[in-house]
Amino acid sequence: MPNSKAVEFSWWIIRYAGGGLLSYAAPRVLVAAGVPIDQWTVAMGGWLSIHIDRELALWIITFVIGAALYFSPSLWAAYQGHPARAVSLPAFRKPKPMIIAGVLIIVVGVVVLFIGLHEASLNKYIKPRMLTGAQAETIRSYLLPHDHFRADVYFYYPDSETEEFATQIMNALHAAGWDSERRAATDGKLPTGEILVQGISLKMAYGKNYPGGTAKKVRLIEEAFTKAHLVIGSSYGSHNLPNVAEGDVELMILVGRRPVVVE
């Protein structure tokens, strides 16, 4: 029979360490599942005139969940008229399962710690992509002094993360004086029949008798995105299209689903 100290220690791990793990993991799992609670927190900060980036937003949510887990048992017990019951070792807990649960929580804690230490390299896989304020300003400031063109942004639909990222790119182009519309590619299928690939890519649609060479609008987008550290995975074109003006080229910025390869 495990001694009482081992049981009490296991209960401490279950309650506090387990609560900490849940507080840390819950907001990140929700974001990965497509619930933009980080964006809601950033927006609330903007409403209060407080600058909050998404990483800080996740930690704020972690703290709120942790506080709720810590205080809610005591508050509930106090509401029922038994304030001491919330902090005592529950009599219905069996010792061996509690110790096993404590060991499992320690193992999970080590795994979460490993993930936290490698969070920067996992961000591409876990977190939604976003165009930071600095990146949007880089695109705007680079494109604004040059000739303004049109580039529509196609995104994989339905996918809320991809749609939001495409919207941010479109807004950056608008700020630079470019014409741009956001267009949905249902199930990733473009009007030309191709399927969107992961990440960002460029597609050029050339009219008949195109003189050749890289069009200025394409070069400007490539240079602006490079300066903003946006990786263009591929660029390709279709030639002699009858719906494109003769000698002209139409540029499409394609936003596929986020890459699943962790770098």
Residue labelled with tokens 């986020």: 258
* Sheet strand arrangement including 249-255: 182-186, 151-157, 249-255, 200-206, 232-238
Query: Tell me, what's the pLDDT at 89?
Result: 43
Residue by residue, pLDDT tens for the chain (263 residues) are 455 666 566 566 656 666 677 777 788 787 777 777 777 777 777 777 777 777 777 888 877 777 776 666 655 555 555 554 444 444 444 555 545 555 565 565 566 555 555 555 555 555 678 888 899 999 999 999 999 999 999 999 888 888 999 999 999 999 999 999 999 998 888 877 788 888 899 988 888 877 766 788 889 999 999 999 988 888 777 776 667 777 788 889 999 887 654 34
Rounded CA gap, 255 and 154, in Å?
6
With helix as H, strand as E and coil as C, how does 109-178 read?
Answer: HHHHHHHHHCHHHHHHHHCCCCCCHHHHHHHHHHHCCCCCCEEEEEEEECCHHHHHHHHHHHHHHHHCCC
To the question of pTM greater than 0.85 for the whole model, the response is no
Q: What is the bridge-based pairing of β-strands 151-157 and 249-255?
A: parallel
| Domain ranges within the chain, ordered by starting residue | 4-126, 133-255
Tell me which residue of 171, 181, 172, 179 sits closest to 148, measured CA to CA. Answer: 179
Query: Tell me, what's the pLDDT at 224?
Result: 94
Helix H or strand E segment including 36: none
Query: Tell me, what's the pLDDT at 154?
Result: 94
Query: Tell me, what's the pLDDT at 87?
Result: 46
236-263 tens-digit pLDDT: 777 766 677 777 888 899 998 876 543 4
Query: Tell me, what's the pLDDT at 74?
Result: 56
Tell me which residue of 144, 200, 146 sits closest to 172, measured CA to CA. Answer: 144
Query: Tell me, what's the pLDDT at 157?
Result: 87
Buried b (16+ CB within 10 A) or exposed e, 10-40: bbebbbeebbbbebbebbbeebeeeebebee
Rounded CA gap, 40 and 195, in Å?
32
Query: Tell me, what's the pLDDT at 78?
Result: 52
